[in-house]
Structure 1
Amino acid sequence: MAQVNGNYLKLKAGYLFPEIARRVKAFSEANPEAQIIRLGIGDVTEPLPEACRTAMKGAIDEMGTREGFHGYGPEQGYLWLREKIAASDFQARGCQVSAEEIFVSDGSKCDSSNILDILGEGNRIAVTDPVYPVYVDSNVMAGRTGDADDAGRYGGLTYLPITAANGFTAEIPTEKVDLIYLCFPNNPTGAVATKAQLQAWVDYARANDALILFDAAYEAFIQDPELPHSIYEIEGARECAIEFRSFSKNAGFTGTRCALTVVPRGLMGTAANGERVELWALWNRRQCTKFNGVSYIVQRGAEAVYSVEGQAQVQALVAFYMQNAAIIRRELTAAGIQVYGGEQAPYVWLKTPENMDSWGFFDHLLGKAHVVGTPGSGFGAAGEGYFRLSAFNSRENVQEAMGRIRAL
């Protein structure tokens, strides 16, 4: 009989969002008349930008001709897209990132998990708490942790609490770690990091020969021009950081799938024998072996994001969702609920009222207001007593949901 990967058996429960879906499904079946508004999972709702749709339609027509047909593309992504990304997203902000260092993929969720393929099992790993569950669960699945304790914390991981007391920005660890997962703007809390705060992380990583895995999936939602959008805006970051980005939230590609990872040339890791090894070469080898690239049609759609029309349309989408976040913040505050985030990110992080636990508040909100959010404890033990609401929905639904919550 085939043996299973026993590391999967260490996972405490189903992945957070399928568990939410299970509870919502059960409620919906028991209450078919309920009009449920979903502000839980961070999935966008507004249509793809017209510039992207037009480009993708043109690409489909190309694929219908012998001259314009494209089969397997480069595993790293087409050069014309990578050059646009490098110039617009990085070089325009003073970051020394070249097209060669950009790898186009089908999702930053995938890349932040797959990056473990090129990293050794003996690394000491630091994650924030609360944290995007994929960072923890992918390490559990890969055998990089011990078992979970009663609070859900896994042995072998260094947890860095992010709380209201520290502004939801983790403090530098007092012990030496090798891998550090950072996400700014933060999922789930909506917090952001200043250049000074990121510089402290980069300085720590360089001093301790550590690697920062920096998730910038929500950078487009930053409103303050003084805040960094990329880790590579920080001096020395090319020596110690890999960055993940996505078209999912800013351009509505959640159902279309396109993202990117930046691995700087010259970024080094250490082999078991002490030899220094370039991570770019390992990631390139991994992608060429296990990945056949993003479709030509989708990459043409992503390229259109950088057109004049595309930039205007993406900015309008971002502004729309940030207006939703402002409504959520305003209405929750008026209801006497303590709120955080929602100013530089599409997530509002709130303190559950009346000392209610996170899943209890989830069930209360679903049962009484027919509104779905995300329990903070699903992001880690330090998330207990908090709750996340997403600004990704229609204006009508956001306003209706806030009216229902205020009525409670």
Structure 2
Amino acid sequence: MAAEINKHYLELKESYLFSEIARRIREWQAENPDRAGELIRMGIGDVTRPLPGAVVDAMIHAASEMGRAESFRGYGPEQGYDFLREKIRGYYEGFGVSLKEQEIFISDGAKSDLGNILDIMGEKSRVLVTDPVYPVYVDTNVMAGHSIRYALSGEENDFLPMPREDYAADLIYLCSPNNPTGAVYDRAQLSAWVDFARERGSIILFDSAYECFVTGDLPHSVYEIEGAKEAAIEFCSFSKKAGFTGTRCGYTVVPEELKRDNVMLNRLWLRRQTTKFNGVCYIVQRGAEAVFSEEGKKQIEENISYYRENARIITETLDRLGIYYTGGKNSPYVWMKAPFGLSSWDFFDRLLNECRVVGTPGEGFGKSGEGYFRLTAFSTKENTKEAMRRMETLFR
């Protein structure tokens, strides 16, 4: 008998969003070769600021350690080195959240673990995702053969869907600050989701990759909400916080209080990681440790402030133009309504052709994204200002 494939992969929709964006850009560049250098990209969620100096210095020192017999390290602990887990534990204390070191697992980024966590969940899980949605939540569950339901959002709820009695779900994906909308749940809203999950035995998979952009009294972590340790797993990343998009490091928190069928999910995740993962390299973890040093925190805040200023430039432009948006104030993403009643892709084409600016059509993030558009604050300040100047010309 021939080997069988996982046929759920055949159920995946083609990942057309960014490939279609790339195709349209290529066509525009071919038609406008003399203007190709004017293109400003504000669509992809990648950072532009370099790694902080404190991080680079720590990685250089760690690399030199690996070149000496007395300080060389081979396989490290799959769940991460204690020196980094302890720093993350201390970071959570700043939010008033007490964690145990063994509840923190170092990973190569939140994206990986958001999919990998399904290894320890039921085979036919019912999954609830908000819409618009980060595509990884949907695709990884399609691959696993799970059933998916969407909590739709829009201007009527500020793109922050809330639980409903008819939502039946084993797993609930929440992202706050949200990608792509930039919307952020407040404490009361997040408490409603935690209560909902606890009452039904659901598990919240909480993506906090953008928590470093949160200001004021908005929650950075789901564990700031009472009872969340019995109902949620949290995923976070150094990608946006410290520019690790190409360096790869993140962490997942699985509280010991979280149990189903009288089994601690923390132990299941530890077993999964020690079987399928060899850990993040020592050099990268030393760099991540430096994120929490006094010099590292100062340098990182400078970078985050830089992106916040870019977001302010974008939102002030939209305010002047009277365009509805979410995000920007506590997020690097600005989710704007496409003007002139245009569809997401029609506005993409107009912005490209008339302004030489690239963003991301909201339709690519789900049904509720049609008619909206995502801009990111991760460009340079000069390009952000110029892009907004060009955008304003559309309204003259």
TM-score, length-scaled by structure 1: 0.92
Q: Which residue of 2 aligns with 1:185?
A: 177
Deviation, structure 1 residue 9: 2.1
Equivalent residues in 2 for 1:294-309 (5 A)?
A: 294-309=280-295
1:38 corresponds to which residue?
A: 41
* C-alpha distance in 1 between matches for 2:326 and 2:258: 35
1:5-404 to structure 2, matched below 5 A, reads 5-14=6-15, 16-33=17-34, 34=36, 35-88=38-91, 90-144=92-146, 156-175=147-166, 176-224=168-216, 226-270=217-261, 276-404=262-390
Q: Deviations over 1:68-87 (max 9, x none)?
A: 21111111010100000011
Cα deviation, 1:256-311, whole Å, max 9, x if unaligned, reads 000000001131123xxxxx321111111111111111111110100000000000
1:273 is aligned to: none
Q: Distance in 1 between matches of 2:268 and 2:16?
A: 29
Give the C-alpha shift of residue 122 in structure 1.
Answer: 2.1
What is the SS of the residue equivalent to 1:158? strand
Asked if structure 2 preserves the Cα contact closer than 8 Å seen for 1:352 and 1:387, the reply is yes
Q: Displacement, 1:236?
A: 0.4
Instruction: Indicate conservation of the 8 Å contact 2:182/2:326, yes or no.
Output: yes
User: Structure 2: which amino acid aligns with 1:318?
Assistant: I
Query: How big is each residue's C-alpha offset from its partner over 1:382-408, in whole Å with a ceiling of 9 and x where there is no partner?
Result: 110000000001111111111121122
CA separation of 1:142 and 1:58: change in aligned 2, threshold 3 A: same
TM-score, with length taken from structure 2? 0.95
Change over 3 Å in CA distance of 1:78–1:372 after alignment to 2: same
Residue 2 of structure 1, CA deviation = 5.3
Indicate if the aligned counterparts of 1:16 and 1:133 stay in contact, CA closer than 8 A: no
Structure 2: distance between partners of 1:281 and 1:17: 38
CA distance in 1, matches of 2:88, 2:79: 13
Q: Distance in 1 between matches of 2:231 and 2:241?
A: 26
RMSD over aligned Cα, in angstroms? 1.4
Alpha-carbon deviations, 1:127-161, whole Å to 9, x = none?
101111110111112221xxxxxxxxxxx322111
The DSSP-based 3-state class of the residue aligned with 2:334 is strand
Deviation by residue 1:351-373 (Cα, 9 ceiling, x = unmatched): 00111111121122122222111
Shift of 1:30: 4.0
C-alpha deviations, 1:297-339, integer Å up to 9, x for none?
Answer: 1101000000000001111111110100000111133234222
Give the unaligned 5+ runs of structure 1. 145-155, 271-275
Question: Quick one: distance in 2 between partners of 1:18 and 1:60?
Answer: 37
* SS at structure 1 position matched to 2:45: coil
Secondary structure (helix, strand or coil) at the match of 1:87 reads: helix
* Structure with the bigger percentage of helix: 2
Structure 2 unaligned segments of length 5 or more: list them: none
Q: Bigger shift: 65-74 or 229-238?
A: 65-74
CA distance in 2, matches of 1:167, 1:189: 9
Contact 1:365 1:372 in 2 (8 A): yes
